[in-house]
């Protein structure tokens, strides 16, 4: 039996690589002779650099609240490709929950990683968006790349949400950006503003209060106006990234799909000419997921929480799509599972919760053990009912 193990990371519990190892142990506990094929996945968030491979290059950056962080970027010199993971520099995991200050959180560390990629000679940069603490609209990123963000008195803004932004002066942007293709690996399509925007949807997940969400929305409105006025890609201005002809550059930046990703980092990078692609698709292509799945007997995937967002471009949804195209059954394992999340339409034979009833802290600590046990339980059931894709999708 050949089993492909293609999980995402289980946030704050285990990396995608560790999750694949736990799955393999669970498979072999039931079928010692099974051939396990680990394909750790990511969707643009945590784990993207490791999933896309290359030489890890350590880069000292400022973390989301300014503390020094040692981030990694992936470098593939033969392809002149650099892989930047926003969460490496400004991820939520870098700041304990009680210390998170979303109004002060700044994306400058991502800009430092992009500059490091340019220093290496990259002509293509893949930037994974996701898992960030920031909601600054990419203000810090642009500052680190040479732009100046000014208030109505002409003074430069401090790091953090651009609540007093009046002018974005882009004349000092790093000229090396002109010759670089930037691709954004992203698992969301949210716009920058409004009820589906960065502040309303994602800021509360990062610890923002209702009052702070209103402040952030106003700051991001200022950022959207400034980005459009600056015309980072437009008439008379040399194109950055993908250039002005692509679909990514139609209309106001705030309205573009994915502009609200990573606290508005998506908006700033789209304004620089980047091209948005589904993160799981970018990773799946790079790691050869379709080739690994072809001819397999079973695919196992999973993530920390399976819910409505899983259906909208997260790793399990992407893996299910690849497996369905190959006619291979899939089982999805989640640290927790929202009963309303129905993956049967994507081809999932079963969706299983690995930590039902446990306190969160214990579930996170015991994640690998729980995943191994749940995988073994799934395999025992499949041995009793080995029909490929047979039976109704199960939940539990």
3-state helix, strand, coil split of the chain in percent (to 5) is 40, 20, 40
φ/ψ of 135, rounded to 5, equals -145, 50
User: Going by CATH, does the domain composed of 48-280 fall within 3.40.50.300?
Assistant: no
**pLDDT tens per residue, range 195-254:** 999 999 999 999 999 999 999 999 999 999 999 998 776 423 344 444 433 444 567 999
* pLDDT tens per residue, range 37-62: 999 999 888 888 888 878 999 999 99
111, 143 Cβ separation under 8 angstroms:
yes
Q: What is the pLDDT of residue 339?
A: 87
In this structure, the number of other CB atoms found within 10 A of the CB of residue 79 comes to 11
Cα–Cα distance between 224 and 317 in angstroms, integer?
31
> Is the whole-model pTM more than 0.85?
no
CA dist., res. 281 & res. 287, Å (int):
10
pLDDT of residue 181 exceeding 60: yes
Instruction: Provide mean pLDDT across the span 339-366.
Output: 90
The full set of domain ranges for the chain reads 2-39+288-384, 48-280
pLDDT confidence bin for 112, thresholds 50/70/90: very high
Topology (CATH) of 2-39+288-384: Rossmann fold (3.40.50)
With bands split at pLDDT 50, 70 and 90, how would you rate the model's confidence at 384?
A: confident
How confident is the model at residue 314, as a pLDDT?
87
Please provide the distance, in angstroms rounded to a whole number, between the alpha carbons at the two ends of the chain. 24
Query: Do the bridges between strand 394-395 and strand 167-169 make them parallel or antiparallel, or are there none, so unpaired?
Result: unpaired
């Amino acid at each position: 039996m050949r089993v492909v193990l293609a999980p995402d990371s289980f946030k704050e519990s285990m990396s995608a690589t560790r999750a694949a190892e736990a799955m393999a142990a669970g498979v072999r506990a039931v079928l010692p002779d099974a051939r396990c094929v680990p394909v750790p996945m990511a969707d643009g968030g945590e784990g993207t650099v490791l999933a896309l491979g290359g030489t890890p290059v350590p880069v000292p950056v400022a973390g989301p609240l300014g503390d020094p962080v040692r981030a990694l970027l992936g470098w593939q010199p033969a392809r002149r490709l650099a892989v930047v993971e926003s969460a490496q520099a400004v991820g939520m995991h870098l700041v304990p929950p009680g210390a998170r200050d979303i109004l002060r959180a700044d994306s400058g560390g991502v800009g430092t990683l992009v500059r490091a990629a340019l220093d290496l000679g990259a002509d293509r940069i893949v930037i994974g968006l996701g898992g960030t603490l920031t909601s600054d609209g990419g203000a810090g990123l642009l500052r680190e790349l040479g732009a100046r963000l000014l208030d109505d008195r002409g003074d430069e803004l401090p790091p953090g949400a651009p609540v007093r932004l009046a002018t974005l002066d882009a004349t000092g942007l790093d000229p090396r950006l002109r010759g670089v293709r930037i691709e954004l690996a992203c698992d969301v399509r949210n716009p920058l503003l409004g009820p589906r925007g960065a502040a309303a949807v994602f800021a509360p997940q990062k610890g923002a209060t209702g009052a702070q969400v209103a402040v952030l929305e106003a700051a991001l409105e200022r950022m959207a106006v400034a980005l459009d006025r600056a015309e980072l890609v437009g008439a008379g201005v040399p194109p950055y990234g993908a250039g002005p002809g692509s679909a990514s550059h139609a209309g106001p930046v705030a309205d573009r799909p994915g502009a609200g990703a990573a606290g508005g980092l998506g908006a700033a990078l789209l304004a620089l000419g980047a091209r948005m692609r589904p993160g799981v698709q970018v990773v799946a292509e790079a790691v050869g997921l379709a080739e690994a799945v072809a001819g397999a007997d079973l695919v196992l995937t999973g993530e920390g929480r399976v819910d409505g967002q899983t259906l909208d471009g997260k790793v399990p949804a992407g893996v299910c799509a690849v497996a369905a195209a190959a006619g291979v059954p899939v089982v999805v394992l989640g640290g927790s599972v929202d009963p309303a999340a129905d993956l049967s339409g994507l081809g999932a034979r079963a969706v299983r919760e690995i930590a039902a009833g446990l306190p969160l802290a214990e579930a996170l600590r015991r994640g690998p053990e729980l995943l191994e046990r749940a995988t073994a339980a799934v395999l025992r059931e499949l041995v009793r009912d080995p029909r490929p894709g047979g039976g109704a999708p199960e939940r539990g």
